[in-house]
Structure 1
Amino acid sequence: MPHGSNFLLGQLAAATLAGIAPHLSVIDLATADVLAEPHQRIQRVYFPHSGIISSIVELSDGSTIETGMIGNDGVFGASQALDDKVSLNLVTVQIAGKASVMTSDRLRAFASELPDFKALLIKYEQFFLSQVQQTAACNAVHDIDARTCKWLSRMHDLVGPDLLLTQEFFARMMGVRRTSVTTVAGALQDAGLISYTRGRLHIVDINQIRKRACECDDAVRSNYQRMFPLVEADAKDRCV
């Protein structure tokens, strides 16, 4: 069943997934698609199979910074749907992919009927909150080199070694000037850790990238492994 390509949906009992599957549809997520605007009520819930969804804070001067990534390990919109809340941030597609989608009303109804499904959604929301908090601390304390490596490591976990992104977009996600990204990317490329040409970035040596990353890289990964040990094991198996 294609919905099982999302690791959270893949952890549901077969009968549970079969019961909700008729209310899920698979859609394409295109780069730069806006899934939610600030203070907008969430109408649909997204379970990515591939690609990356980003939660972004926009400031009054036009600058932006990413506060969290959602890939095939998670879900966007579930917590808002459960409490009939609005999105607090801009949410966009950072890397194109596919996702299983369900209306917020239907998800809320299923969560009321299926305690295990609701528990899974709440557990992921706890992880995502911990990711956002870790990112806030990281942005305040750690230097751009370590933050860049942490960001690349997270991207690698979610989509693998090949990324389509411009330096301008990279800078917006990191909340820094483009010249800073150019300098850091150049140093990583000179060290043989990445290759970058015309908006295509390839991670050559993920182990060295992780060694250069700040402690937040391990913290985010460890938090996920503690909450979803079976999901993490599945992810490793599928990446082999």
Structure 2
Amino acid sequence: MGVTPLAIMLGLTAAALWWLAGHEDYRPFMPGLVEGAAVTMRITVAGAILAVAAALTAGLARLYAPAPLRWLAVTYVELFRGTSALVQLFWLFFVLPQFGVTIDAFTVAVLALGLNVGAYGAEVVRGAVLAVPLHQWEAGLALNLSRRQIVARIILPQAVVAMIPPWGNLFIELLKGTSLVSLITLADLTFRAQQMNQTTMQTGPIFTLVLLGYLFMSLTITIGMRLMERRAIRGLGRRA
């Protein structure tokens, strides 16, 4: 799907939220849900930055680092892919204090979700780099470039184009995964909705707003990634 249909969907979602915000059955819940959505977006953005950094580090380490660092990267990827994000949240928030390490809830959320998504992203990075044709390496060697220069100047710019679509999916998974942080006392969008529902029992209006809120945020991410992909493709002189 192109950017235009997604932009139309985003506009319709925003219009629906705006209309519901003025409706007497929905208006009382908007301020609290907006505050919760702000927490959700903060976790998503911080987690995404950590995920990209972890994925690039681990993905490239698996390909080019010395053996000890490769083993460390493999351990990280398999540990965080092979265990539940919820268990990781609980372990960081409830188990680490038993060893004298206490981390605030927001940092735990960013660490657990960011590293979890980063583990999946590491495989995206590795696959995208391996997909770059071998003759690109040969061209770099012919230009007398070092291995690091070949990776930084030739391989990664091409691999990034292939990484962007799957990273868009991973960022949306990260956004949806933030609903777990309500279990470690963070007042995100889901937490606020649950609180309001327990108090008012107005399940329909509350979770209609929550559904549209998550849809609005996910569409925003999708459009942003599509535009980034177009720009990256044009940067390589290809057709978008």
Higher helix share: 2
Larger-Rg structure: 2
Higher relative contact order (Cα pairs below 8 Å, separated by 6+ residues): 2
- As a proportion of its length, which structure holds more strand? 1
TM-score (norm: length of structure 2): 0.28
